[in-house]
Amino acid sequence: MKEYRQEFMHSLNRRDSGEGEAGEEKAFSLKEAMWDLARITGAAILFFAAISCFFRPALTRGDSMAPTLRDGDRTLISAVGYQPRRGDVVVLRDPSQQDKHLVKRIIAMEGDQVDIDFGLGVVYINGLPLEEPYCAQPTYTGYDTEFPVVVPPEHLFVLGDNRNYSHDSRSSDVGMLPLDSVEGKVVWRFYPFDRIGVIR
């Protein structure tokens, strides 16, 4: 009887010890999970902080840049160290309404001669036809600017990709925009999700 009691007590001790170890394992696992969550959260905060230092979000209004950008597209703009180049899609301050912005493509820069044959719908830069695979249609629509024109120093000639539905440098209301009106280059579309990608 005494031997049976000792064995029974020994079994209880082993079970209590096992439960204690299991409890310690659960507590340790929970602590590890909390640390993992904290590390992931911290990394995410640092990532978005770094993104915000070099990029800023922008919302496209209207379809003047279709099919490249459409109304409601949400994009990222790169401004730090950006140097404008022909062909870039950029955000610029609207000269007629300083609280508004334009999204256009840089077609020509200072010293360039721009001519447009509205009958053929072809844009010429320095006498050479411009290849424009990004356009929705040829350039048939003109406004009040007479061509050819030469882009003055520190200015840009810009057009919308939806060429016949865009108000841009063909109109004296917009004209050729100062270089310092450029807010940045549109580099990435992050919404809508089915059209995420680099802007070219």
- For residue range 16-73, list pLDDT tens digits in order: 545 555 555 555 577 787 887 877 887 666 655 566 667 889 999 999 999 999 999 9
Burial of 153 (0-12, 13-18, 19+ CB in 10 A): exposed
Total structural domains in the chain? 2
Between 42 and 145, name the one with better pLDDT: 145
Q: Which of 39, 56, 73 lies at the terminal end of a domain, its last residue?
A: 56
Task: Give the span between the Cα atoms of 29 and 39, in whole angstroms.
Answer: 15
100 is catalytic: no
**127's tokens:** 């006498």
Beta carbons of 112 and 150 less than 8 angstroms apart: yes
Q: Which of 56, 73, 92 lies at the terminal end of a domain, its last residue?
A: 56
104 is catalytic: yes
Sign of CA dihedral 157, 158, 162, 166: negative
Residue 11 has pLDDT above 90, yes or no: no
What b/e readout covers 90-106, taking b as 16+ CB neighbours within 10 angstroms?
bbbbeeeeeeebbbbbb
Residue 53: what pLDDT?
Answer: 66
> Among 62, 104, 105, which Cα is nearest to 86's?
105
For the entire predicted model, the pTM comes to 0.75
Specify whether 111 is located in the same domain as 166: yes
Residue of 17, 52, 78, 104 marked active site? 104
Beta carbons of 177 and 156 less than 8 angstroms apart: yes
Residue 99: what pLDDT?
Answer: 76
User: For residue 88, what pLDDT band results from cuts at 50, 70 and 90?
Assistant: very high
Specify whether 52 is located in the same domain as 64: no
Specify whether 46 is located in the same domain as 128: no
3-state DSSP assignment of residue 104: strand
Specify whether 92 is located in the same domain as 2: no
Structural domain that includes position 148: 60-198
CA atoms within 13 A on the CB side of 9: 6
> Among 61, 91, 92, 90, which Cα is nearest to 74's?
61
Task: Give the span between the Cα atoms of 125 and 108, in whole angstroms.
Answer: 7
What average pLDDT does the chain have? Answer: 85
pLDDT single digits (tens) 155-173: 999 999 999 999 999 999 8
Residue of 11, 17, 31, 64 marked active site? 64
